[in-house]
Amino acid sequence: MSVDSHYDAIVVGSGFGGSVTAYRLAEAGRRVLVLERGRPYPPGSFTRSPCRARESFWDPPRGLVGMYHYWSFRGIDALVSAGLGGGSLIYANVFIRKDEKWFVREDVDHGGYEYWPVTRAELDAHYDRVERMIGLQRFPVEHEPYASTPKTVAFKEAVSALGLEHFHPELAVTFANPGRPPVPGEAIVEKIPNLHGRTRTTCQMSGECDVGCNFGAKNTLDYNYLTHAGHHGAEIRTLCDVRRLEPREGGGYAVHYADLGAGAPEAPPTEALTCDHLILSAGTLGTTNLLLRNRSAFARVSHKLGTRFCGNGDLLTLVLDTHEDREGSGRAPRVVDPGYGPVITTTARIPDALDGGHGRGFYLQDAGYPQHLAWVLQVLSAPRQMWRWRKDAAYLVKNWLRGSPDTDVTGHIADLLLPSELSAGGLPLLSMGRDIPDGRMYLRRGRLDIDWRTQTSREYFERVRSVSRDVARVLGGRFADNPLWLLSRVITVHPLGGAPMGRHPGEGVVDAYGNVFGYPGLHVADGSVMPGPTGPNPSFTIAALADRFADHIIEPDRRATEAAAG
Ligand SMILES: Cc1cc2nc3c(=O)[nH]c(=O)nc-3n(C[C@H](O)[C@H](O)[C@H](O)COP(=O)(O)OP(=O)(O)OC[C@H]3O[C@@H](n4cnc5c(N)ncnc54)[C@H](O)[C@@H]3O)c2cc1C
What pLDDT is stored for residue 390 in this prediction? 85
Indicate the pLDDT class of residue 420, thresholds 50, 70 and 90.
confident
Q: How far apart are CA 221 and CA 95, in angstroms?
A: 13
Q: How far apart are CA 148 and CA 142, in angstroms?
A: 10
More confident residue, 108 or 525: 525
User: Which ranges in 402-457 belong to alpha helices (H)?
Assistant: 410-415, 421-424
Which of 69, 81, 211, 492 for mutating ligand 1's site (highest number of atoms within 8 Å of CB)?
81
What pLDDT is stored for residue 526 in this prediction? 98
Which residue type is seen at 231?
A: H
Nearest to 218 by CA among 206, 230, 229, 231: 206
* Strand runs labelled E in 296-382: 315-320, 323-326, 330-333, 347-350, 362-366
Q: How far apart are CA 225 and CA 222, in angstroms?
A: 6
Pick from 369-378, 459-468, 502-511, 555-564: least confident: 555-564
Residue nearest to atom 9 of ligand 1 (CA): 94
Contact between residue 16 and residue 59 where contact means Cβ atoms under 8 Å apart: no
Task: Using the predicted structure, report yes or no on whether residue 262 has a pLDDT greater than 60.
Answer: yes
Find all residues with CB under 8 Å of 160, minimum gap 6, and list them.
166
CA 268 to ligand 1 center in whole angstroms: 24
Which residue type is seen at 121?
A: A
Residue nearest to atom 27 of ligand 1 (CA): 283
Indicate the pLDDT class of residue 326, thresholds 50, 70 and 90.
confident
More confident residue, 369 or 311: 311
Q: How far apart are CA 510 and CA 116, in angstroms?
A: 12
Q: How far apart are CA 560 and CA 566, in angstroms?
A: 10
Q: How far apart are CA 531 and CA 517, in angstroms?
A: 15
Which of 16, 285, 315 for mutating ligand 1's site (highest number of atoms within 8 Å of CB)?
16
CA 21 to ligand 1 center in whole angstroms: 15
Mean pLDDT of 114-128: 98
pLDDT digits over 53-72, tens only?
999 999 999 999 999 999 99
Indicate the pLDDT class of residue 376, thresholds 50, 70 and 90.
confident
pLDDT digits over 329-342, tens only?
788 899 999 999 99
Task: Using the predicted structure, report yes or no on whether residue 455 has a pLDDT greater than 90.
Answer: yes
Contact between residue 510 and residue 500 where contact means Cβ atoms under 8 Å apart: yes
Task: Using the predicted structure, report yes or no on whether residue 224 has a pLDDT greater than 80.
Answer: yes
Q: How far apart are CA 464 and CA 348, in angstroms?
A: 12
Contact between residue 280 and residue 291 where contact means Cβ atoms under 8 Å apart: yes
Pick from 104-113, 116-125, 221-230, 473-482: least confident: 104-113
Ligand 1 interacting residues, C-beta cut-off 6 A = 12-18, 35-38, 79-83, 86-87, 90-94, 210, 240-242, 281-284, 286, 290, 344, 493-494, 526-527, 537-540, 542
Indicate the pLDDT class of residue 558, thresholds 50, 70 and 90.
low
What pLDDT is stored for residue 533 in this prediction? 98
pLDDT digits over 263-272, tens only?
898 999 999 9
Mean pLDDT of 128-141: 98
CA 80 to ligand 1 center in whole angstroms: 6
More confident residue, 87 or 389: 87
Residue nearest to atom 3 of ligand 1 (CA): 91
More confident residue, 551 or 557: 551
Pick from 197-206, 233-242, 373-382, 482-491: least confident: 373-382
CA 13 to ligand 1 center in whole angstroms: 9
CA 486 to ligand 1 center in whole angstroms: 27
CA 497 to ligand 1 center in whole angstroms: 13
Which of 12, 16, 91, 284 for mutating ligand 1's site (highest number of atoms within 8 Å of CB)?
91
Indicate the pLDDT class of residue 559, thresholds 50, 70 and 90.
low
Nearest atom in ligand 1 to the alpha carbon of residue 537 is 11
For β-strands 347-350 and 165-167, DSSP reports them as: antiparallel
> What is the distance of C-alpha 105 from the center of its chain?
26
Which residue type is seen at 433?
A: G
Residue nearest to atom 14 of ligand 1 (CA): 91
CA 286 to ligand 1 center in whole angstroms: 10
Contact between residue 177 and residue 186 where contact means Cβ atoms under 8 Å apart: yes
Residue nearest to atom 2 of ligand 1 (CA): 91
Geometric angle at alpha carbon 206, from 91 and 412, rounded to 5°: 145
What pLDDT is stored for residue 204 in this prediction? 97
Nearest to 17 by CA among 281, 220, 288: 281
CA 15 to ligand 1 center in whole angstroms: 5
For β-strands 235-237 and 32-35, DSSP reports them as: parallel
Express as a percent the part of the chain with pLDDT over 90: 84
Which of 67, 95, 530, 539 for mutating ligand 1's site (highest number of atoms within 8 Å of CB)?
539
pTM of the model: 0.95
CA 256 to ligand 1 center in whole angstroms: 22
Is 315 exposed, middle or buried, given 0-12, 13-18 or 19+ CB atoms closer than 10 A? buried
What pLDDT is stored for residue 2 in this prediction? 61
Q: How far apart are CA 424 and CA 235, in angstroms?
A: 46
What pLDDT is stored for residue 557 in this prediction? 65
